[in-house]
């Protein structure tokens, strides 16, 4: 079926059509094709891994590598009945969850401290934006995973509610409800920083 | 009417995820309902904060690891092998069910201590006891059993086939678990010396004030009657942990834990008495108001070698105190390239990593790598024989 779809696409212009062609080559074991997929998705996969794993760069790197290795070995299971990106993000979410379970007791001192340390630093205008992003990351890390994942998929990956539901295996209504609660939680945790947000 | 409120649609409305009629209904409702309007403003504010999340660039070095990983995985052969043995699936399910039923029946039988799978115990002196029985030549310590030494006795435990633990006088230990993925002792009081040659994270010792996690090492661990412990590492690394508080202790260093608090900051044993006592007052202050002066003394008494302790203190202090600790670090040892004071005061992860490398504290990455290598070697060479695998 995939081959037929690929054959039907003469001059692919969208990312999705490029993906299909690359996916087919990937399934045939083509390393260059995997490299193309890696280049197309590496930042998104890495970003979501890093945000979901509390900002730990080493773990995020490990997860990103695992995701692309799994992608190569499991691509045969991808039937094309969902978007490739949805399938990939599901792989990312599951790999992150597995990693969190495995790492429950193995958090380097320094890195865990980065997450828990209360940094009281002067808010200068020059660094306010960076500091705000850091505070958002920390607040996000304090949310329950079921509220954190929809926020990550929406704001880092730009997915629609329907796509988020497919990745997380829940309904669009559940996604809307969790995003509502996630937004409210962020608002409560970060409300004191509202002045640092630019104009609407 | 309550059911007419639209606050549960706030996010979807803001993200334009509603149908046009739904959107119109929400918009009209918000004009007249102050409660829903307030909740909508709340969601909007949260959304504006979430918009601060940005895409992060992945390191280029990841690709090399991926290609190496794929070489190991050998994808196509696996897939075909799986297909070839698809017919075995029902048999495997049936076998699993039988095992589950058998396991359930076994659980219904009276439980007894499993001496055969326990650890061999050797008497080194005096009359150590397992429960009420004296240790003999062929004694084994089973899961759940206590081994106790009095003032004149000592014993040695063989930890499966990965190392040994010597039990000093006046010590009480219990074997909590021993299997392919985890060997765990409880040290209630007294002192033990462990020498382990195995993948990291395979051997653990529980104490009342934390868990000592072996990272491939030799060490001595002592617990007093109050449940406080003192760890001295002679080879490799040991991680001490209680809940979220963790210290990783390198060879030549020691670390104290306090019951109910957890591990303090690691320090080299040849540090001055003034340094060590000040560090103890900082880690476990009897009077919190004295913590600042204790930290001041720690920085003043630190030698270049004690930069390790100062490094581990950075995340544990804030503001001016962090600046004081970091300035002392740089006075003792020039910072590595690419590191700025401002970055370190913000605990920039990349810069912290550079300092780790400079101080020889690259345990995180190197041990992780070592653990992976160990796992591969053990699972391929010995795994089929004894199934030993380290934990991550």
Do residue A156 and residue B53 have CB atoms under 8 angstroms apart?
Answer: yes
pTM value surpassing 0.95 = no
Which position has the higher pLDDT, B281 or B391? Answer: B281
Do residue A183 and residue B11 have CB atoms under 8 angstroms apart?
Answer: yes
- A103-159 pLDDT per residue, tens: 553 333 333 333 333 333 333 444 566 778 888 988 998 899 899 999 999 999 889
Measured distance CA(B126)–CA(B110) in Å, rounded:
34
Measured distance CA(B144)–CA(B165) in Å, rounded:
17
Measured distance CA(B83)–CA(B280) in Å, rounded:
61
Instruction: Copy the structure tokens of residue B323.
Output: 């600046």
The pLDDT confidence band at residue A194, using thresholds 50, 70 and 90, is confident
Average pLDDT estimate for B294-322: 92
Do residue B246 and residue A107 have CB atoms under 8 angstroms apart?
Answer: yes
Q: Which domains does chain A show, CATH number per domain?
A: 2-102 (1.10.1740.10), 118-196 (1.10.10.10)
* Domain regions of chain B by residue span: 2-45, 289-361
Q: What average pLDDT is seen over chain B?
A: 80
Evaluate whether A153 touches A164 at the Cβ level (below 8 Å): yes
Evaluate whether B229 touches B210 at the Cβ level (below 8 Å): yes
Average pLDDT estimate for B3-32: 84
By C-alpha distance, which of B221, B243, B216, B245 is closest to B231? Answer: B221
B347 closest CB neighbour out of A50, A114, A137: A114
Torsion angle, alpha carbons of B183, B186, B189, B193, to 10: 10
Dihedrals phi, psi of B203, to nearest 5 degrees: -120, 130
Residues 192-221 of chain B whose Cβ lies under 8 A from any Cβ of chain A: 201, 213
By C-alpha distance, which of B185, B95, B196 is closest to B145? Answer: B185
Chain B environment of A105 (Cβ under 8 Å)? 213, 241
Residue of chain A whose alpha carbon sits nearest to that of B39: A184
The pLDDT confidence band at residue B6, using thresholds 50, 70 and 90, is confident
Do residue B55 and residue A47 have CB atoms under 8 angstroms apart?
Answer: yes
CA-to-CA separations, A105 to B90, B113, B306, in angstroms, rounded: 37, 28, 27
Asked if pLDDT for residue A70 goes beyond 70, the answer is yes
Residue of chain B whose alpha carbon sits nearest to that of A129: B52
- B172-209 pLDDT per residue, tens: 999 988 887 788 999 999 999 999 887 777 889 998 88
Residues 147-166 of chain A whose Cβ lies under 8 A from any Cβ of chain B: 151-152, 154-156, 160-161
Instruction: Copy the structure tokens of residue B368.
Output: 């992780």
Evaluate whether B156 touches B173 at the Cβ level (below 8 Å): no
What pLDDT, on the 0 to 100 scale, is given for residue B180? Answer: 77
Contacts of residue A171, defined as CB under 8 A and 6 or more positions apart, other chains included, come to A165
Do residue A34 and residue B66 have CB atoms under 8 angstroms apart?
Answer: yes
Measured distance CA(B391)–CA(A59) in Å, rounded:
15
What pLDDT, on the 0 to 100 scale, is given for residue B230? Answer: 93
DSSP A25-70: HHHTT-HHHHHHHHHHHHHHHHHHHHHHTTT-HHHHHHHHHHHHHH
Asked if pLDDT for residue B325 goes beyond 60, the answer is yes
Residues 311-340 of chain B whose Cβ lies under 8 A from any Cβ of chain A: 312, 315-316, 318-319
Do residue B318 and residue A65 have CB atoms under 8 angstroms apart?
Answer: no
Do residue B78 and residue A191 have CB atoms under 8 angstroms apart?
Answer: no
Least confident of A57-61, B7-11, B91-95, B108-112: B108-112
Residue B82 in contact with partner chain A when CB distance is under 8 A:
no
Residue A35 in contact with partner chain B when CB distance is under 8 A:
yes
Nearest C-alpha of chain B: how many angstroms from A10? 28
Question: How many other C-beta atoms can be found within 10 angstroms of the C-beta atom of residue B77?
Answer: 9
Evaluate whether B243 touches B191 at the Cβ level (below 8 Å): no
SS3 label, residue B235: strand
Evaluate whether A162 touches A150 at the Cβ level (below 8 Å): no
Measured distance CA(B169)–CA(B124) in Å, rounded:
10
Residues 176-195 of chain A whose Cβ lies under 8 A from any Cβ of chain B: 176-177, 179-180, 182-188, 190-191, 193-194
Asked if pLDDT for residue A6 goes beyond 50, the answer is no
What pLDDT, on the 0 to 100 scale, is given for residue B373? Answer: 43
By C-alpha distance, which of A149, A151, A172, A158 is closest to A93? Answer: A149
What pLDDT, on the 0 to 100 scale, is given for residue B384? Answer: 38
Q: Is B229 exposed, middle or buried (0-12, 13-18, 19+ CB in 10 A)?
A: buried
Say how many Å lie between the first and final Cα of chain A, rounded: 47
């Amino acid at each position: 079926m995939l081959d037929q779809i690929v054959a039907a696409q003469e001059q692919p212009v969208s990312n999705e059509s490029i993906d299909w062609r690359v996916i087919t080559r990937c399934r045939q074991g083509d390393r260059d094709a995997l490299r193309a997929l890696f280049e197309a998705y590496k930042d998104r996969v890495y970003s979501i891994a890093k945000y979901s794993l509390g900002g730990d760069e080493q773990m995020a790197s490990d997860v990103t590598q695992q995701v692309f290795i799994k992608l190569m070995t499991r691509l045969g299971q991808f039937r094309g009945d969902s978007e490739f990106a949805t399938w990939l993000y599901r792989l990312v979410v599951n790999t992150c969850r597995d990693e969190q379970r495995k790492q429950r007791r193995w958090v380097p001192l320094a890195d865990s401290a980065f997450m828990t340390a209360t940094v009281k630093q002067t808010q200068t205008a020059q660094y306010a934006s960076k500091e705000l992003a850091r505070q958002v990351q920390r607040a996000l890390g304090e949310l329950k995973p079921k509220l954190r994942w929809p926020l990550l998929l929406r704001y880092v990956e730009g997915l629609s509610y329907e796509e988020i539901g497919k990745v997380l295996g829940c309904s669009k209504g559940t996604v809307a409800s969790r995003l509502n609660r996630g937004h409210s939680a962020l608002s409560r945790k970060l409300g004191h920083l509202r002045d640092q947000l630019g104009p609407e | 009417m309550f059911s007419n409120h639209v606050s549960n649609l706030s996010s979807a409305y803001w993200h334009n995820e509603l149908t046009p009629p739904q959107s119109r209904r929400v918009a009209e409702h918000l004009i007249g309902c102050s409660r829903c309007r307030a909740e909508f403003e709340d969601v909007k504010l949260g959304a504006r904060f979430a918009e601060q999340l940005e895409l992060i660039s992945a390191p280029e070095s990841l690709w090399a690891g991926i290609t190496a990983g794929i070489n190991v995985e050998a994808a196509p052969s696996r897939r075909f092998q799986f297909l070839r043995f698809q017919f075995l699936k029902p048999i495997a399910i049936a076998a699993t069910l039988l095992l589950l039923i058998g396991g359930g029946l076994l659980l219904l039988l009276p439980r007894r201590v499993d001496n055969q799978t326990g650890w061999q115990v050797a008497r080194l002196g005096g009359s150590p006891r397992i429960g009420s029985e004296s240790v003999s030549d062929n004694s084994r310590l089973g899961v759940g059993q206590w081994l106790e030494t009095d003032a004149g006795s000592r014993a040695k435990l063989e930890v499966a086939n990965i190392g040994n633990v010597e039990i000093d006088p006046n010590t009480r230990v219990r074997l909590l678990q021993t299997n392919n993925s985890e060997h765990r002792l409880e040290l209630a009081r007294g002192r033990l010396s462990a020498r382990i040659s195995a993948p990291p994270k395979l051997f653990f010792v529980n104490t009342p004030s934390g868990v000592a996690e072996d990272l491939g090492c030799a060490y001595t661990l002592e617990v007093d009657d109050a449940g406080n412990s003192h760890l001295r590492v002679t080879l490799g690394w040991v991680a001490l942990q209680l809940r979220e508080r963790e210290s990783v202790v390198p060879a030549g260093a020691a670390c104290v834990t306090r019951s109910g608090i957890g591990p303090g900051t690691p320090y080299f044993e040849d540090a001055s008495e003034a340094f060590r006592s000040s560090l103890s007052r900082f880690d476990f202050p009897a009077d919190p108001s004295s913590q600042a002066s204790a930290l001041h003394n720690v920085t003043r008494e630190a030698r270049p070698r004690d930069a390790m302790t100062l490094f581990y203190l950075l995340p544990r202090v804030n503001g001016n105190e962090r600046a004081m600790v970091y300035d002392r670090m740089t006075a003792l040892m020039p910072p590595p390239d690419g590191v700025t004071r401002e970055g370190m005061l913000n605990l920039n992860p990349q810069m912290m990593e550079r300092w780790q490398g400079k101080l020889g504290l690259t345990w995180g990455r190197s041990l992780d790598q070592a653990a992976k290598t160990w796992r591969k070697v053990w699972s391929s060479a010995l795994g089929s024989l004894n199934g030993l695998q380290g934990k991550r």
